[in-house]
Amino acid sequence: MTKVAIAGASGYSGEELVRLLLRHPEAEIVAVTSRQYAGKTLAEVFPKFAHYRAAQTIPFILPDAAELARLAEYVFLALPHGVAAELAVPLLKAGRRVLDLSADFRLRSAAVYEEFYGKTHPAPELLAQAVYGQPETYRERLKGAGLVACAGCYPTSILVPTLPLLRAGLIRPEGIIADSLSGVTGAGRKADLGYIYCECNESARPYGLPKHRHLSEIEQELSIAAGTQVTMQFTPHLIPLNRGILTTLYLTPSEEIRDAESAERFSRKLADMYQKVYGQEVFVRIDGDKILPDIKNIVMSNVVEFGWKVDCRTGRLIVVSAIDNLMRGASGQAIQCFNLMAGYPETTGLL
Amino acid sequence: MTKVAIAGASGYSGEELVRLLLRHPEAEIVAVTSRQYAGKTLAEVFPKFAHYRAAQTIPFILPDAAELARLAEYVFLALPHGVAAELAVPLLKAGRRVLDLSADFRLRSAAVYEEFYGKTHPAPELLAQAVYGQPETYRERLKGAGLVACAGCYPTSILVPTLPLLRAGLIRPEGIIADSLSGVTGAGRKADLGYIYCECNESARPYGLPKHRHLSEIEQELSIAAGTQVTMQFTPHLIPLNRGILTTLYLTPSEEIRDAESAERFSRKLADMYQKVYGQEVFVRIDGDKILPDIKNIVMSNVVEFGWKVDCRTGRLIVVSAIDNLMRGASGQAIQCFNLMAGYPETTGLL
Amino acid sequence: MTKVAIAGASGYSGEELVRLLLRHPEAEIVAVTSRQYAGKTLAEVFPKFAHYRAAQTIPFILPDAAELARLAEYVFLALPHGVAAELAVPLLKAGRRVLDLSADFRLRSAAVYEEFYGKTHPAPELLAQAVYGQPETYRERLKGAGLVACAGCYPTSILVPTLPLLRAGLIRPEGIIADSLSGVTGAGRKADLGYIYCECNESARPYGLPKHRHLSEIEQELSIAAGTQVTMQFTPHLIPLNRGILTTLYLTPSEEIRDAESAERFSRKLADMYQKVYGQEVFVRIDGDKILPDIKNIVMSNVVEFGWKVDCRTGRLIVVSAIDNLMRGASGQAIQCFNLMAGYPETTGLL
Amino acid sequence: MTKVAIAGASGYSGEELVRLLLRHPEAEIVAVTSRQYAGKTLAEVFPKFAHYRAAQTIPFILPDAAELARLAEYVFLALPHGVAAELAVPLLKAGRRVLDLSADFRLRSAAVYEEFYGKTHPAPELLAQAVYGQPETYRERLKGAGLVACAGCYPTSILVPTLPLLRAGLIRPEGIIADSLSGVTGAGRKADLGYIYCECNESARPYGLPKHRHLSEIEQELSIAAGTQVTMQFTPHLIPLNRGILTTLYLTPSEEIRDAESAERFSRKLADMYQKVYGQEVFVRIDGDKILPDIKNIVMSNVVEFGWKVDCRTGRLIVVSAIDNLMRGASGQAIQCFNLMAGYPETTGLL
């Protein structure tokens, strides 16, 4: 059993880490942190977990790096950006391995961080060693990583289907549009008038236009795959459900789609390429061009699902992907990274 | 056109008053109050009303009684209890007619107010003159009222079907149980962690057990109808929808229900009685014993709908009622009272 | 009072016509049709309308054109395409004015109808005289129209903000993308496994890709405005709410957006143009570039609301619009057309 | 690995059995049945399970008893009542152990079955040997059972908190009322107009009053516990969520509750009794009298959670319980029974 701790366990992704790690056969939660709940047990704070024997004894402690380092081998940080880095630095110094679910270490450039997050990066010296926590893309590097910057929710829904298209040169790097729908857990557990029930229910709205923070990490990874600077359009919307992200991508094929036949041929090329790249991936579901994803088919699962249509009228490629924002978009993917780091089968605790 | 003002227009029942009064052909909103929005127009604060020409000019002002008295003939108070009385006193002194949607003047006894609301009544001298704002019950007194204490939402769903049963002696006053379900607007527009979207969606929970504040006014009115002190059980639940209350009442018939035949006979008696009492009421829908209400049939309407079953197995009478908590449970019923006070046809602006 | 009839009153848009016409001060519903309910009154079939005195007597009759022509001056057709035309032909011959909510008369070309609807057009000789029922665009022609082809729901959300942009040459006609979200009433009232509660709730999915039928009327109207053939991308999604459409439009400005300054300048141009075109329209709300629409602000209203962002990073113009699919997307807009035809103020019964 | 089959895997409880058994470490699904899908694999029919390697090969077969008996040691029947018995008889003859999720074997009396289900019992000779599948109540008998009649969803939410009260004589057997709220999966996966999204969303309604079929098994088990015939009131309601049941029970304490002190004393008695009965149960959560359940705390879990209030005003005991209708109310509890039958730790595959 590997000893793990979760810093920031009272938000939605922290709670999801607790849920998943309680049933993980190789991990033992030794502590969770919360300024508000320090001194209580996990079962006292979250009655929903009280039937797990371990929850009766797992203590909430203050977010103290020395204490976390003393107790745990691996520390998951489910904290706001900025705050996460403050814990990451001493934990890494103490030789602990850190999985950060915030945005603090996702960007390779401290300048881009400052541009998008509006503050000086708190630990720029660590950026070079951080590995981006998207297992299908960085599997080998994750195995040896000391600091993992777990990929964001929207980015995961966009990058998994798009990166291989760029790498294979099947689409052009210009003009990419990602139109995303997200459930309300994506906004976090916070008492804000805009997120009370009746302000979200029976409604839908865009937000964060036109320069949402996640653009920074999406463009960084797309640029690496394309071998050229990618600037893209990203439009997130809030829709009335708890969990799930659906992303519709508008892409330009590298070859001209003139008619049904060339569309069909291009689609087969995609199917072959995706099969080669993801055919063996347990947590990637390729729908092909007949079916498109539906959030209900991936809720509570770690799967990224995507399908596509090649439109012979417009010449465009439309790819639609779906993930559970708390599983694949946050805590599930973090545990997938943890499994790689700790040498467990990648699906451990996630099926 | 009668000049009206709304004190406290930023909550859900205040907003609903605005919605209904903007389309009321005989009322002119001359001012709305809000400490937060003073200085802006209604259209600026609520873009959703901006297509009403009047909304372009209706000003938000501070909740000042003198100014309200200067501007309006009628003032609706959509304020928290305690705060409402503070405005009501000077408005009444200035000769204005007041429709209070809070609980401040619903109880005839200041002692009961103190028991249930935990504070000394702010203006006990006004209790005697306040008329309880339930039009089907107090229609005649409402016409001349200076101070109307608009009935609460749960109370309306319970009293409309139950009062005539008690008055007619068809049920016993002991052992009454009201089990109610309410949409989340019932909790008000407030930023509280317990009411954010993901804490209410895909969930349901009881609250306020066993002594919810509304018990005080329900028992008061039931006792008047029964001619004896009634103590009853009331269990509200929060369910995931915006608007609507569904109440299931468990009642004991005064006569013994031994078999299908006596059940059938008792049910016909009820039908006759209800027909006599409510047959001419536009805003009361009597379903009888074949159909039971469904919230979707009364949402956005001022109707109280109810049906019943006489259970020959248990000897009980089950009555189920439904209302829209913002319309019939608050602002619609207040306007129904206003129509009576101002001498307009009772349905004006409510169909 | 103008005598009106509704053919097909048991679906969602038929029911919405009933709701709106019952409160319309100048219209009298003389009959509604339904094969299933013929012989009953409106109140018997829809208890939710039973508190309207008229509903007690309005009869459901069989969809017989002669009888409808005998009873009514105006007939609303809320029927499936194909079926609508069968009634429209004899009604027009009998001199009645027809408002068709189906797609039967929206297209000017019978060939395009056949391409998108998969059948020969049932009455191609009527296409030339039909007026497209989008009041802000065809107001003058609607006044004298005998046959109105009410605009579709998605098309309305797309055309109202886009047509003036094309007419003014502010955007290029190529590369238009409309990404739309719709509530489930949009799918109609039909018992289909894909639309039962648990298959839609807590989920979201695209459908009809890449060649949804509404493309035909959208492209027709965009092409007229652009003065050139427009081919565009349209991606509808189903989201878990009852009413409402939110459309996100990706558009290419005609002038180059190089930086924040040119973006700002272009945005001001848009604001001026929209103000000129829609500044006096009661049912069009221009949000500008600071606010973007939220479905909850237009539900149960006849307003089309839209706002925009000019993105200086990508050079694109993003416009977001929202409508209530049953009001502005169907029955409300139909009544707006009816008001124009019958010479009533355009907002009658719609505020 | 124990070989299991699921007959009727296309409904919600069948699908939930698949979900749970795919991750059960000791069970191997060898076949699932469906007339409609015979010939396909589980992954083809339910893409959501496609990432389980086993799902790639598990075949859908016709519901043939001989074939099921050949393939599996244990057969779960997730079929309508009546149909389930037809398979159960030959399976038992062939020596297979059967877990029936329908109502066919829950009642000890064929006459009561006929009264409540309106048909002659298909296999009355088996009733005596069937064990009621409520593990906390019949644990020892379940271990050796050949035929388990898994408890219904509403019954489980009522029986778990109520049986010990009756057994301990803490409440009187008369006058019991259970008022229940259920999510829409409870209605099954069927294309019925009453269950399409917009007919359930933003609404709530009672149904099955006053003699719902589940009364038969609830009263049977309550009567056994009370040692006398119990007749009770049961009122189910449909509320807009996917999963979950919340039941509010109105009960009469055997001793008089006169004041706050006697209420407090009675509540402590309950707490002691429940602790004795359920204190060691992993899947029973006792909230006590300070907290009451919330559906969101038991969704996707096998826990029955309940709390209570002793009302010194009315003298009543109110108990509120919550379960996930698909887990604890159907498939999770069935697997709990299976674990007992097969000798696995009772929580296997359920944490």
Is any Cβ of chain B less than 8 angstroms from the Cβ of C205? no
Query: Which pLDDT does position A208 carry in this prediction?
Result: 95
Question: Looking at beta carbons, which residues of chain C come within 8 Å of D192?
Answer: 191, 196
Residue B6 sits at the vertex; the CA angle it makes with A197 and B159, to the nearest 5 degrees, is 65
Query: What six digits make up the tokens of B191?
Result: 């930023």
- The reply to whether residue D198 touches residue C192, judged by beta carbons under 8 angstroms, is no
**Dihedral, CA atoms, B71, B74, B75, B76, nearest 10 degrees?**
-140
Sign of CA dihedral A199, A204, A209, A212: positive
| CATH code that applies to domain A2-151+329-342 | 3.40.50.720
Instruction: Quote the minimal CA–CA distance from D270 to chain A in Å.
Output: 20
Please state, in angstroms and rounded to a whole number, the distance separating the CA atoms of residues C108 and C121: 11
Alpha-carbon distances of D215 from C293, D106, D183, rounded to whole Å = 49, 12, 19
Counting as contact any 3 or more CB pairs under 8 A, the partners of A are: B, C, D
Question: Looking at beta carbons, which residues of chain C come within 8 Å of B47?
Answer: 285, 287, 291, 297, 305
Query: Which pLDDT does position C141 carry in this prediction?
Result: 98
Is any Cβ of chain B less than 8 angstroms from the Cβ of A36? no
Is the omega angle on the peptide bond into residue B210 within 30 degrees of 0, that is, cis? yes
Is any Cβ of chain A less than 8 angstroms from the Cβ of B36? no
Is any Cβ of chain C less than 8 angstroms from the Cβ of A244? yes
If you average pLDDT over residues B238-264, what whole number do you get? 98
3-state helix, strand, coil in chain B (%, to 5): 40, 20, 40
- The reply to whether residue B51 touches residue C351, judged by beta carbons under 8 angstroms, is yes
| pTM, two decimal places | 0.97
Is any Cβ of chain D less than 8 angstroms from the Cβ of A12? no
Please state, in angstroms and rounded to a whole number, the distance separating the CA atoms of residues B75 and B146: 11
Residue in chain C closest to D192 (alpha carbons) equals C191
Residues, chain D, total?
A: 351
Query: Which pLDDT does position B19 carry in this prediction?
Result: 98
- Tell me the residues of chain D between 318 and 337 that have a Cβ less than 8 Å away from chain B: 318, 320
Is any Cβ of chain D less than 8 angstroms from the Cβ of C195? yes
Is any Cβ of chain A less than 8 angstroms from the Cβ of D48? yes
Cα Rg of chain C, angstroms: 20
Residues of D involved in catalysis: 153
Question: Looking at beta carbons, which residues of chain A come within 8 Å of C231?
Answer: 313-314
Question: Looking at beta carbons, which residues of chain B come within 8 Å of A189?
Answer: 193, 196, 198-199
Q: Determine contact, residues D191/C196, Cβ cutoff 8 Å.
A: yes
Instruction: Kindly report, residue by residue over D51-87, the tens digit of the pLDDT.
Output: 999 999 999 999 999 999 999 999 999 999 999 999 9
What type of residue sits at position A309?
K
Alpha-carbon distances of B167 from B225, B228, B254, D187, rounded to whole Å = 5, 11, 12, 39
- Residue ranges of the alpha helices (H) in D64-119? 65-71, 83-93, 110-117
Is the omega angle on the peptide bond into residue C210 within 30 degrees of 0, that is, cis? yes
Is any Cβ of chain A less than 8 angstroms from the Cβ of B238? no
What pLDDT band is residue A178 in, cutting at 50, 70 and 90?
Answer: very high
Instruction: Kindly report, residue by residue over C275-311, the tens digit of the pLDDT.
Output: 999 999 999 999 999 999 999 999 999 999 999 999 9
**At a CB cut-off of 8 Å and minimum separation 6, what does B55 contact?**
B22, B41, B42, B43, B46, B49
Please state, in angstroms and rounded to a whole number, the distance separating the CA atoms of residues B307 and B298: 13
Is any Cβ of chain A less than 8 angstroms from the Cβ of C181? yes
Question: Looking at beta carbons, which residues of chain A come within 8 Å of D282?
Answer: 51, 53
Residue in chain D closest to B318 (alpha carbons) equals D210
Interface A:D, Cβ pairs < 8 A: 42
Strands (E), chain D: 2-7, 27-33, 60-61, 74-77, 97-100, 131-133, 147-150, 177-182, 205-206, 233-238, 245-251, 284-288, 304-310, 317-323
Residue of B198, B201, B202 for testing the chain A interface, max A β-carbons within 10 Å: B198
Instruction: Quote the minimal CA–CA distance from A263 to chain C in Å.
Output: 12
Alpha-carbon distances of C303 from B234, C297, C326, rounded to whole Å = 41, 9, 11
Of C185, C189, C197, the CB nearest to D184: C197
Please state, in angstroms and rounded to a whole number, the distance separating the CA atoms of residues A190 and B37: 24
Instruction: Kindly report, residue by residue over D164-201, the tens digit of the pLDDT.
Output: 999 999 999 999 999 999 999 999 999 999 999 999 99
φ and ψ at residue D292, rounded to 5 degrees: -120, 155
Residue in chain A closest to B199 (alpha carbons) equals A197
Q: Determine contact, residues C233/C196, Cβ cutoff 8 Å.
A: no
Residue of B29, B42, B48 for testing the chain C interface, max C β-carbons within 10 Å: B48
Instruction: Quote the minimal CA–CA distance from A195 to chain B in Å.
Output: 6
Is any Cβ of chain D less than 8 angstroms from the Cβ of C36? no
Q: Phi-psi region for residue B349, left (φ > 0), alpha (ψ -120 to 50) or beta?
A: left
Is the omega angle on the peptide bond into residue A210 within 30 degrees of 0, that is, cis? yes
What pLDDT band is residue B214 in, cutting at 50, 70 and 90?
Answer: very high
Q: Give the largest Cα separation in chain A, rounded.
A: 67
**Other CB atoms within 10 Å distance of the CB of residue A111:** 11
DSSP H or E stretch at residue D50: none
β-bridge pairing A317-323 and B2-7: unpaired
Please state, in angstroms and rounded to a whole number, the distance separating the CA atoms of residues A229 and A227: 7
Q: Phi-psi region for residue A328, left (φ > 0), alpha (ψ -120 to 50) or beta?
A: alpha
Question: Looking at beta carbons, which residues of chain B come within 8 Å of D292?
Answer: 205-207, 209
If you average pLDDT over residues D233-247, what whole number do you get? 98
If you average pLDDT over residues A187-211, what whole number do you get? 96
**At a CB cut-off of 8 Å and minimum separation 6, what does D255 contact?**
D262, D266
- The reply to whether residue B285 touches residue C51, judged by beta carbons under 8 angstroms, is yes
What pLDDT band is residue D264 in, cutting at 50, 70 and 90?
Answer: very high
Question: Looking at beta carbons, which residues of chain B come within 8 Å of A36?
Answer: none
Residue D66: alpha-carbon gap to chain centroid: 28
- The reply to whether residue D204 touches residue B181, judged by beta carbons under 8 angstroms, is yes
Counting as contact any 3 or more CB pairs under 8 A, the partners of D are: A, B, C
Is any Cβ of chain A less than 8 angstroms from the Cβ of C50? no
Instruction: Kindly report, residue by residue over B282-322, the tens digit of the pLDDT.
Output: 999 999 999 999 999 999 999 999 999 999 999 999 999 99
What are the residue boundaries of the structural domains of chain B, listed by start? 2-151+329-342, 154-324
DSSP H or E stretch at residue B65: helix B65-71
Please state, in angstroms and rounded to a whole number, the distance separating the CA atoms of residues A270 and A264: 10
Question: Looking at beta carbons, which residues of chain D come within 8 Å of A285?
Answer: 47, 50-51
Residue D232: alpha-carbon gap to chain centroid: 19
Instruction: From the candidates B153, B198, B200, B312, give the one annotated as an active-site residue.
Output: B153
Query: Which pLDDT does position C350 carry in this prediction?
Result: 98
Query: Which pLDDT does position B171 carry in this prediction?
Result: 98
In CATH, what class is A154-324? alpha beta
- The reply to whether residue D233 touches residue B204, judged by beta carbons under 8 angstroms, is no
Tell me, what's the ipTM?
Answer: 0.97
Alpha-carbon distances of B162 from B101, B195, B318, C8, rounded to whole Å = 22, 31, 11, 39
DSSP H or E stretch at residue C181: strand C177-182
Is any Cβ of chain D less than 8 angstroms from the Cβ of B172? no
Please state, in angstroms and rounded to a whole number, the distance separating the CA atoms of residues C223 and C228: 5
According to DSSP, residue A58 is labeled: P
Q: Residue holding tokens 């959670």?
A: D305
Instruction: Quote the minimal CA–CA distance from D75 to chain A in Å.
Output: 23
Q: Phi-psi region for residue B298, left (φ > 0), alpha (ψ -120 to 50) or beta?
A: alpha
Instruction: Kindly report, residue by residue over C59-106, the tens digit of the pLDDT.
Output: 999 999 999 999 999 999 999 999 999 999 999 999 999 999 999 999
Query: Which pLDDT does position D11 carry in this prediction?
Result: 95
Question: Looking at beta carbons, which residues of chain A come within 8 Å of C325?
Answer: none
Of B199, B205, B239, the CB nearest to D204: B239
Residues of A involved in catalysis: 153
Query: Which pLDDT does position C29 carry in this prediction?
Result: 98
Query: What six digits make up the tokens of B93?
Result: 């002194």
DSSP H or E stretch at residue A162: helix A153-167
What pLDDT band is residue C207 in, cutting at 50, 70 and 90?
Answer: very high
Is any Cβ of chain C less than 8 angstroms from the Cβ of D36? no
Please state, in angstroms and rounded to a whole number, the distance separating the CA atoms of residues C285 and C304: 6
Please state, in angstroms and rounded to a whole number, the distance separating the CA atoms of residues A325 and C52: 47
Query: Which pLDDT does position D10 carry in this prediction?
Result: 92
Residue in chain A closest to B191 (alpha carbons) equals A193
